[in-house]
């Protein structure tokens, strides 16, 4: 995993772009001129530590990439390739020489890359789930791209996307900045330099990609199959599930540096931990974060029980009120493309704790979306008389003048699903298209890369997705249980995980930590420039003076901190003192 940046169709130096991304690639930077532009790569060494430096050249083409191509060994064997390095990206160049654009469809992994082909065609590509980011800025015939917005020019904030951020936790299909867009999950974009290098590059319309991109209606990776397949009885499904999961964890472990996992105590991370234990001779290193706050839901006891049963090298870290105020501006800095998801905070703390002992971390993201784990899925399947309701976001943002209704309406338009899906699959599809790439995966990428760590997600694998999404609904949701088939698997392979126990839910006690400073924030936040532009100031004041509205304090506080850093250009160390009136 790395940071990448480039300039195509212009002569702007690429060095200043990559300089802003060195936290993503602390092992070194390489810059190279190519036809019609320049490429830059900040490396976090994971595979082929000596020879895997990029830009990488082979078979007449050049590539810079962020992420991992997990099936590179299988591609070498299947096609009889003869790479000169052990890099996971080199086989892609040899395949491209044989197949052109079709080579991208063979990749299994998480990646965002720029490939300059020997055939004169240049491509920007992002993986199907959007695990790895890529941002684009186009102006005056010049295309700049980078792994994070901080490397690129950013226009003013777009009010509608700010409202989405405050109502939904994330901006949906694009960044909040004018003129700066995300390459969509699964998007393949061809950038063809004109024959005359003095002529600006032609930016062709994006192709829908590997094999197609979210979130356009009717699109999406073909391994998310609309039709429900006949799956056989549960024992037969479990027998098929086991090798699918094991194979994904096996390839996600491919690394020449130390790897481990984040263990929450829930079903998803317990499944990953169980399989890693099976596949490794030495105890697997696992990190768990718990909260030091009265009444907080703390999963450390469950994680420890799993760790003891699997003989993990288990390490716990506590998140305190002091951590909350220390980490808040650091996490806001890392999230230059923001999400107000409070799970950012423990993710950042875990990455901070793991740095130095691990370089690669496996996590459980995607298990809920693919195997039907969220409570909203179960509610969507109930009759209305029994409390059933659609699995749409529950927007409660009274500090926005429209209460967040415009953001919710945009979500409904964005999250339209193709025909042929069941009610449960439609809910899963919407989450995979919107919430997953723009909140969960964005959070994971920024918090880990801020510490030079690579995060890997074995559930978000094309083979696992093809298996899981096409299962009958009854093997995902049954009664009060989601992830039915995963729980059955865990019951067999790691009963210490207690897969049928009631899930605590994941709640960070931010309200408890904000409460002692609520009076200070009631004075300063309504007058904060960024907050006042987006919100009703009296409603903001009420959120910090009325305990009945305390649930609205976190997104407002985070947004104020984020705005101060990324728009107001306030130093991180000065943001909270200014908001708390202690400067």
Per residue in 404-438, pLDDT (tens digit) is 999 999 898 888 888 889 999 999 999 999 999 99
Comparing 24-28, 206-210, 510-514, 516-520, the range with the smallest average pLDDT is: 206-210
Could you tell me the pLDDT band of residue 233, with boundaries at 50, 70 and 90?
A: confident
Say what the pLDDT of residue 432 is. Answer: 94
Encoded tokens for 25: 């690639």
297 vs 285, higher pLDDT? 285
Model confidence over 104-135: pLDDT tens digits? 999 999 999 999 999 999 999 999 999 999 99
- pLDDT of 212 > 90? The answer is no
Confidence of residue 293 (pLDDT cuts 50, 70, 90): confident
CA 244 remoteness from chain centre:
22
Listed range (4-13, 384-393, 452-461) with the worst mean pLDDT: 384-393
Supply the pLDDT for residue 386: 78
With cut-offs at 50, 70 and 90, classify the pLDDT of residue 226.
low
pLDDT band at 541 (very low <50, low <70, confident <90, very high): very high
3-state SS string over 260-320?
EEECCCCHHHHHHHHHHHHHCCCCCEEEEEEECCCCCCCCHHHHHHHHHHHCCEEEEEEEC
Lowest mean pLDDT among 64-78, 352-366, 494-508, 520-534: 494-508
SS3 98: helix
At residue 199, does pLDDT exceed 90? no
Position 209 confidence tier, pLDDT thresholds 50, 70, 90: very low
Query: How many C-beta atoms lie closer than 10 Å to residue 321's C-beta?
Result: 15
Mark out the alpha helices in 384-453 (DSSP H runs).
405-414, 423-433, 435, 441-449
- For residue 333, the model assigns a pLDDT of 98
Which whole number is the average pLDDT over 99-108?
A: 95
C-alpha separations of 77 from 72, 73, 74, 224 in Å: 9, 6, 5, 27
Res 194 pLDDT > 60: no
Which residues on adjacent β-strands are paired with residue 111?
67
pLDDT band, very low/low/confident/very high, at 581 (cuts 50, 70, 90): confident
| Residue pointed to by tokens 């025909």 | 419
For residue 49, pLDDT beyond 60: yes
DSSP string, 102-144: GGGGG--EEEEEEEE-TTS-EEEEE-TT--S--EEEEETTEEE
Q: Nearest Cα to 69, choosing from 241, 81, 269, 353?
A: 81
Query: Which among 190, 198, 249, 144 has a CA at the least distance from the CA of 489?
Result: 249
Count CB-CB contacts under 10 A for residue 227.
Answer: 9
Total residues found in the chain within this entry: 583
Q: Tell me, what's the pLDDT at 504?
A: 65
Task: Give the pLDDT confidence of 335-347 residue by residue, as tens digits.
Answer: 999 999 999 999 9
Domains recognised in the chain with CATH numbers: 2-153+187-208 (3.60.20.10), 234-497 (3.40.50.620), 510-580 (no CATH)
**The predicted structure's pLDDT at residue 48:** 76
Evaluate if residue 324 carries a pLDDT over 60.
Answer: yes
- Which DSSP category does 389 fall into? -
Report, as an integer, the average pLDDT of 354-372: 97
pLDDT band at 385 (very low <50, low <70, confident <90, very high): confident
DSSP string, 198-244: TSPPEEPPPEE-SS--TTSTT-S-TTS-SSPPP---HHHHHHHHHHH
Mean predicted confidence (pLDDT) in 515-544: 97
Residue 33 has pLDDT above 50, yes or no: yes
Q: Which two tokens stand for residue 48?
A: 């082929």
pLDDT surpasses 70 at 223: no
Specify the pLDDT at position 583. 52
Residue 116 structure tokens: 């300059």
**Is a pLDDT exceeding 90 seen at residue 503?**
no
pLDDT in tens, 263-283: 999 999 999 999 999 999 999
pLDDT at 35: 82
pLDDT above 90: percentage of residues in the chain: 80
What pLDDT band is residue 225 in, cutting at 50, 70 and 90? low
Taking each helix axis as running N to C, give the angle between helix 484-493 and helix 267-279, from 0 to 180 degrees, rounded to the nearest 10: 40
CA atoms of 227 and 213, how far apart (whole Å) = 19
**What number is the average pLDDT over the span 29-50?**
90
């Amino acid at each position: 995993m790395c940071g990448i940046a480039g300039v195509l169709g212009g002569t702007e130096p690429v060095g200043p772009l990559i300089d802003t991304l060195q936290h993503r690639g602390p092992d070194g930077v390489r810059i190279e001129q190519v036809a019609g532009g320049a490429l830059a790569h900040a490396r976090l060494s994971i595979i082929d530590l000596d020879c895997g430096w990029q830009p990488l050249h082979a078979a007449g083409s050049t590539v810079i990439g962020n992420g991992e191509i997990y099936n590179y060994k299988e591609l070498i064997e299947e096609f009889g390739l003869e790479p000169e390095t052990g890099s996971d990206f080199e086989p892609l160049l040899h395949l491209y020489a044989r197949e052109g654009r079709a080579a991208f469809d063979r990749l299994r992994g998480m990646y965002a890359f720029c490939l300059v082909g020997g055939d004169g065609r240049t491509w920007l590509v992002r993986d199907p789930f959007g695990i790895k980011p890529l941002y684009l800025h186009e102006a005056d015939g010049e295309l700049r791209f980078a792994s994070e917005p901080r490397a690129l020019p950013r226009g003013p904030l777009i009010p509608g996307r700010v409202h989405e951020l405050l109502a939904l936790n994330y901006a949906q299909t694009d960044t909040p900045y004018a003129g700066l867009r995300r390459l969509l999950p699964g998007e393949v974009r061809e950038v063809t330099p004109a024959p005359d290098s003095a002529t600006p590059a032609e930016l062709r319309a994006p192709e829908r990609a590997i094999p197609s991109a979210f979130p356009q209606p009717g699109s999406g990776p073909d391994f998310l199959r609309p039709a429900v397949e006949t799956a056989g009885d549960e024992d037969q499904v479990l027998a098929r599930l086991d090798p699918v999961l094991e194979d994904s964890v096996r390839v996600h472990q491919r690394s020449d540096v130390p790897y481990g996992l984040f263990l929450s105590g829930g079903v998803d991370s317990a499944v990953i931990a169980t399989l890693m234990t099976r596949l490794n001779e030495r105890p697997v290193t696992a990190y768990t974060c718990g909260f030091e706050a009265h009444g907080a839901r703390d999963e450390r006891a469950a994680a420890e029980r799993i760790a003891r049963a699997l003989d993990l090298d288990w390490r716990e870290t506590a998140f305190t009120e002091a951590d909350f105020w220390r980490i808040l501006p650091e996490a806001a800095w890392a999230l230059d493309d923001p999400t107000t998801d409070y799970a950012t905070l423990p993710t950042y703390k875990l990455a901070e704790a793991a740095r130095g002992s691990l370089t690669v971390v496996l996590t459980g993201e995607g298990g809920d979306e693919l195997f039907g784990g969220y409570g909203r899925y179960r509610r969507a399947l109930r009759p209305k008389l029994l409390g059933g309701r659609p699995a749409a976001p529950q927007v409660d943002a009274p500090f926005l003048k429209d209460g967040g209704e415009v953001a919710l309406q945009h979500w409904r338009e964005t999250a339209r699903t193709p025909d042929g899906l069941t009610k449960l699959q439609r809910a899963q599809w919407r989450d995979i298209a919107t919430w997953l790439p723009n909140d969960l995966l964005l959070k994971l990428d920024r918090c880990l890369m801020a510490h030079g760590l690579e995060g890997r997600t074995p559930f978000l694998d094309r083979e696992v997705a093809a298996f899981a999404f096409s299962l009958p609904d009854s093997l995902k949701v049954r009664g009060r249980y989601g992830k039915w088939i995963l729980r059955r698997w865990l019951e067999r392979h790691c009963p210490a995980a207690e897969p049928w126990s009631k899930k605590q839910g994941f709640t960070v006690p931010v309200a408890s930590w904000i409460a002692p400073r609520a009076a200070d924030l009631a004075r300063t936040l309504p007058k904060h420039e960024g907050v006042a532009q987006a919100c009703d100031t009296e409603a903001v004041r009420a959120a910090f003076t009325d305990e009945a509205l305390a649930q609205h304090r976190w997104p407002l506080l985070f947004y104020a901190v984020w705005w101060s850093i990324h728009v107001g250009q306030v130093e991180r160390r000065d943001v909270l003192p200014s908001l708390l009136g202690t400067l």
